[in-house]
Structure 1
Amino acid sequence: MIRLFAALFAALLMAGCASSLPPAPLKAATPDYKYLIGAGDSLNISVWRNPELSATVPVRPDGKITAPLVEDMVAIGKNPTELAREMEAKLKKYIQDPVVTIVVQGFVGPTSEQVRIVGQAARPAALNYKQDMTVLDAMISVGGITEFAAGNRAVLIRATEANKAYNIRLHDLLKRGDVTANVELRPGDVIIIPESWF
Structure 2
Amino acid sequence: MRINLMAACIGMLFLMTPLASGAADYVIGEGDGLDISVWGVKELTFSVKVRPDGKITVPGLGDVAASGATPKELQVSLGTRLRELVKNPIVTVTVRDITNSKVYIYGGGIKSGVYDLQRRTTLLQLLCTLGEVKTADLRRAYLLRNGKRVKEDFYKLFIKGESENDILLESGDSLFIPLLLDKNVYILGAVLTPKAVEYREGMRVMEAILEAGGFTKFADQDDIVIRRKVGQKEQSLEVKAKKLFKQGDLSQNLVLEAGDYVLVKESLF
TM-score (norm 1): 0.66
Structure with the largest fraction of helix: 1
Contact 1:123 1:143 in 2 (8 A): no
Question: Aligned to 1:69, what secondary structure does the other structure show?
Answer: coil
> Partner of 2:181 in structure 1?
197
Q: Which has the larger radius of gyration?
A: 2
CA contact (8 A) 1:125 1:142 kept: no
| 43-52 or 119-128, which deviates more | 119-128
Matches within 5 A, 1:95-174: 95-109=86-100, 114-119=102-107, 120-122=109-111, 124-128=113-117, 130-131=119-120, 133-145=121-133, 147-159=134-146, 163-164=148-149, 166-170=151-155
Match of 1:85, SS state, is helix
Alignment gaps of 5+ in structure 2: 1-22, 183-269
Question: Which has a greater percent of strand?
Answer: 2
Superposed, which structure 2 residues align to 1:65-76 within 5 Å? 65-76=56-67
8 Å CA contact retained: 2:24, 2:72: no
Structure ranking higher on relative contact order (CA contacts 8 Å, 6+ apart): 1
RMSD over aligned CA atoms reads 2.7
Which amino acid counterpart does residue 158 of structure 1 have in structure 2?
A: R
Gaps of 5+ in 1: 1-31
8 Å Cα contact 2:143-2:175 kept in structure 1: yes
Encode CA deviations 1:123-159: one digit per residue, 9 max, x unaligned.
522332754x3322112333353x5432322122233
**Within 5 A, what are the aligned runs for 1:8-19?**
none
Q: Which runs of 4+ in 1 moved over 4 A?
A: none
Taking a change above 3 Å as real, the CA distance of residues 189 and 144 of structure 1, as seen in their structure-2 partners, is: farther
In structure 1, what is the equivalent of residue 54 of structure 2? Answer: 63
CA distance 1:196–1:42, shift in 2 (3 Å): same
Partner Cα distance (2:58, 2:83) in 1: 15
SS of structure 2 residue aligned to 1:157: strand
What count of residue pairs does the alignment treat as equivalent?
157
Alignment partners' CA distance in 1, 2:168 and 2:118: 8
**Partner residue, 2:73:** 82
Structure 2 residue 35 is the aligned partner of structure 1 residue 39: no
Q: Structure 1 residues 55, 164: closer, same or farther in 2, change over 3 A?
A: same
